[in-house]
Structure 1
């Protein structure tokens, strides 16, 4: 269960700002066929796998624009670990992520085959179309209740203290981008264990996430993610 929690926290960071741009959102790309690749690095700066995203469909649901993201996670040896998809919506100047859809279908299938009952609830991540230095962003959270053979396990993940710290230029493999630096703290609790992660995320208009660094509570670097490919 702890591995599941760590995975979910990592996945939330990975997809947190991987959005696209259309008439609804000036900040995040939302065009069918757009693709992104992010490379993850460990605390020593060594490659630790990649995540490839592709926007497979964009549709209208009333006044909301809904996009489906397909993703493939590959480990550092090039082995495909899983494929999944999730949805985001944009309405009235705000982008929202469906928390439940972030769980890979393969993982959900495995739990089902193990007779594990799972209930997921929470508050969607909300992201405004425009960012300003000093701006505070809404908190978000997710709760996962799992039950197997009479044993119950509960996990909560809270994303808090979300704020826009400054603007600066950032260079990664995919190019050089003018970015907003967004900082936040994520606290996960499961089976008596608490994991606190502080993150710096650099976002560019029309692209989304360009770079991310995650730190332990004591300030030590845990991992880094960078945009290595981008097309639309």
Structure 2
């Protein structure tokens, strides 16, 4: 019973505040499982809310995500997501320089604006990898296309996100609870050298939480992977 009360408190705490699509409780943990195309678990991911700030109508937070890949040596990696809400829309940007910075054995506490700029230059990052979620978006409403590029393992990766559309609201149930979500769908095209791969991505976001579920499919409709929120811990 005590664990259940704590779980409910953590869930409500993450929802406290504005109508933003991210958690605003510093130290809260969102636990995910990532699955492959066959439905097998391939990694566990924990997003820790490491920073929350308020400036007038703007609300911001940073998630630091730790990904532990199953059955793989040197299996731990990191990334970071920066969130902002201005009272009308939520903007999420994955900081693609954070993981390489941590991999270089640099001090996470010293990762600042200058360090980020240096990592982006090293990765030759260009473009826009932001995600924008509007309040009260209607089903069928389109979202702007985005594209960006960077160097990964000495190879140039070019990513294009296109045809994004709001699909309406849907309730999603996982082991973490039941969530009223906004669903979006888009095409993700990744080009590395002469090879291009395109997937259909469906994602569900809940206010006060962020990502609850993500599914990807190849262009023939076959599953290519899935991510699920499985637990919330304060």
Q: Provide the secondary structure at the position in 1 that maps to 2:125.
A: strand
Residues matched between the structures, number: 204
- What are structure 2's unaligned runs of at least 5 residues? 1-13, 106-120
2:37: which partner in 1? 43
TM-score between the two structures when normalised by the length of structure 2:
0.74
Q: In structure 2, do the counterparts of structure 1 residues 139 and 22 end up closer, same or farther at CA, with 3 Å as the change threshold?
A: farther
SS across alignment from 1:157: strand
Give the structure-1-normalised TM-score. Answer: 0.74
Structure 2 residue 158 is matched with structure 1 residue 142: no
Is 1:202 paired with 2:204? yes
User: Which aligned runs of 4 or more in structure 1 are off by greater than 6 angstroms?
Assistant: none
Q: CA RMSD in A?
A: 2.9
Q: Distance in 2 between matches of 1:165 and 1:21?
A: 22
- In the other structure, the counterpart of 2:165 is 163
Q: CA distance change for structure 1 residues 64 and 206 in 2, over 3 Å: closer, same or farther?
A: closer
2:178 match: 176
Pairing 1:122-133 to 2, within 5 Å after superposition = 122-123=127-128, 124-133=130-139
CA contact (8 A) 1:118 1:147 kept: no
Query: Which ranges of structure 1 fall in alignment gaps of 5 or more residues?
Result: 1-19, 111-115
Deviation at 1:55, TM superposition (A): 0.6
Q: Quote how far apart the aligned CAs of 1:56 are.
A: 0.8
